[in-house]
């Protein structure tokens, strides 16, 4: 998980007339972030002016750009250019994403988004001749079976506005691990969410409602890590937080397997309103 505290973005025309999206990041200062943006523009301009580049030249060009982001050649990571709201600890950071919502970025708690959990033909037939099984019940039973098969696993199931959120903990779980991919397939996870977590090397969980669901559109997206402190952004955040009162992101349905208990889980449940029984899910 790489979340630089200092970053700046810009759009400029290249020598070929195309519009380039540029960024500069730093773990030290804004001045260094701005210097790296200018260096990125210079490197890209030099490369665009070259003729008949070789594969080696392309590789060298990419390596120079990755070095500006402090990424090693073997790393596969997407930088999170989001203002940091709270540094919970070294492995867990709360940021504000491009829509204005607060997001937990974690390498210790695994989250899986499930939009739809299909019923088997057998489940549907049982529903015709007996008690109907709901997708939520089937998903919960799948989690229970997983925890029985692996006693290191603990699971918490939450209902969201359009589906479910699964929180997991256990051995050998990592966003890019084969075991995690198998779990995602078993739970019919949202493939876009799975891909995002793989690229960013962390799990993400939305902690506050989506703005359009509480009637507050148009978050003024920051162009750098300092813009979130602008009067315009602060005014939007105040209106948004007022509109979020009485709304929840998810609601705890049940738990399975090994007991999960930590300050981070308590913070997740508190910020999402997971234990407020009658709140509107947003």
In this predicted structure, the answer to whether residue 252 has a pLDDT above a threshold of 70 is yes
- Residue 74 resides in a domain: no
Confidence of residue 126 (pLDDT cuts 50, 70, 90): low
Q: Are 204 and 92 in contact, with CB atoms under 8 Å apart?
A: no
Do 88 and 64 fall within a single domain?
Answer: no
Domain extent at residue 34: 6-68
Q: Are residues 112 and 48 in the same domain?
A: no
Residues in the chain: 282
Residue at 76 is within a domain? no
Average of per-residue pLDDT values in the chain: 91
If asked whether residues 55 and 90 sit together in one domain, one would say no
Residue where a domain stops, chosen among 68, 92, 121: 68
- Report yes or no on 77 lying in a domain: no
Do 108 and 220 share a domain, yes or no? yes
Radius of gyration of the chain (CA): 22
pLDDT higher at 220 or 111: 111
Higher-confidence residue: 266 or 222? 266
> What local confidence, expressed as pLDDT, does residue 182 receive?
93
Query: What mean pLDDT is predicted for residues 97-104?
Result: 94
CB-CB contact of 84 with 25 (8 Å): no
59 and 125 belong to one structural domain: no
DSSP state of 118: P
DSSP string for 35-68: HHHHHHHHHHHHHHT-SS--HHHHHHHHHHHHHH
**Looking at the domain assignment, is residue 1 inside a domain?**
no
**φ and ψ at residue 87, rounded to 5 degrees:** -95, 95
- Looking at the fold, whether 164 and 49 belong to one and the same domain comes out as no
Query: Domain check: are 38 and 134 in the same one?
Result: no
pLDDT at 154: 96
For the entire predicted model, the pTM comes to 0.88
Question: What's the whole-number mean pLDDT along residues 40-51?
Answer: 90
**For 220-245, what is the mean pLDDT?**
92
Tell me, yes or no, whether 127 and 216 share the same domain.
yes
Q: How confident is the model at residue 118 (pLDDT cuts 50, 70, 90)?
A: confident
Rounded distance between C-alpha atoms, residue 25 and residue 140, angstroms: 42
Q: Are residues 63 and 172 in the same domain?
A: no
Q: Span 131-154, mean pLDDT?
A: 92
Summarize the confidence of residues 194-218 as an average pLDDT.
92
Q: In this structure, is residue 268 part of a structural domain?
A: yes
64-68, 122-126, 277-281: the lowest-pLDDT one: 122-126
Residue percentage of the chain with pLDDT more than 70: 95
Does one domain contain both 206 and 235? yes
**Inter-CA distances, 169 with 97, 144, 192, Å:** 25, 13, 21
Helix (H, G, I), strand (E, B) or coil at 247: strand
pLDDT value at 51 more than 80 = no
Are residue 35 and residue 155 in the same domain, yes or no?
no
Whether the per-residue pLDDT at 76 is higher than 60: the answer is: no
One domain, residues 102 and 227: yes
pLDDT score of 122:
67
Cα separation, 177 vs 73, in Å, equals 19
Domain count, the chain: 2
Q: What is the pLDDT of residues 18-45, one digit of tens each?
A: 899 999 999 999 999 999 999 999 999 9
Kind and range of the H or E run holding 155: strand 154-160
pLDDT for the residue 227: 86
151 within a domain of the structure (yes/no)? yes
The answer as to whether 184 is a domain residue is yes
């Amino acid at each position: 998980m790489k979340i630089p505290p200092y970053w700046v973005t810009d759009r400029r025309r290249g020598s070929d007339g195309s519009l380039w999206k540029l960024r500069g990041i730093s773990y030290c200062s804004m001045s260094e972030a701005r210097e790296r943006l200018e260096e990125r523009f210079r490197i890209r301009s030099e490369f665009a002016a070259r003729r008949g580049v070789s594969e080696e030249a392309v590789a060298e060009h990419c390596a120079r750009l990755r070095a500006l982001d402090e990424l090693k050649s073997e790393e596969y990571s997407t930088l999170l250019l989001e203002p940091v709201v709270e540094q919970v600890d070294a492995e867990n950071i709360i940021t504000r994403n491009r829509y204005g919502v607060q997001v937990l970025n974690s390498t210790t708690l695994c989250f899986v988004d499930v939009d739809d959990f299909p019923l088997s033909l057998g489940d549907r037939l049982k529903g015709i001749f007996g008690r109907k099984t709901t997708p939520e019940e089937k998903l919960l039973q799948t989690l229970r079976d997983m925890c029985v098969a692996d006693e290191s696993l603990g699971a918490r199931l939450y209902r969201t506005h359009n589906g479910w959120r699964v929180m997991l903990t256990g051995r050998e779980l990592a966003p890019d691990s084969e075991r995690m991919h198998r779990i995602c397939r078993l739970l019919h996870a949202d493939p876009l969410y799975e891909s995002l977590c793989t690229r960013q090397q962390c799990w993400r969980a939305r902690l506050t409602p989506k703005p359009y669901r509480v009637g507050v559109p148009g978050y003024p997206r920051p162009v750098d890590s300092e813009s979130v402190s602008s009067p315009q952004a602060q005014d939007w955040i105040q209106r948004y937080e007022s509109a979020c009162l009485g709304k929840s992101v998810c609601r705890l349905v049940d738990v399975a397997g090994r007991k999960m208990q930590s300050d981070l889980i308590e913070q997740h449940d508190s910020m999402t309103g997971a234990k407020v029984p009658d709140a509107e899910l947003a």
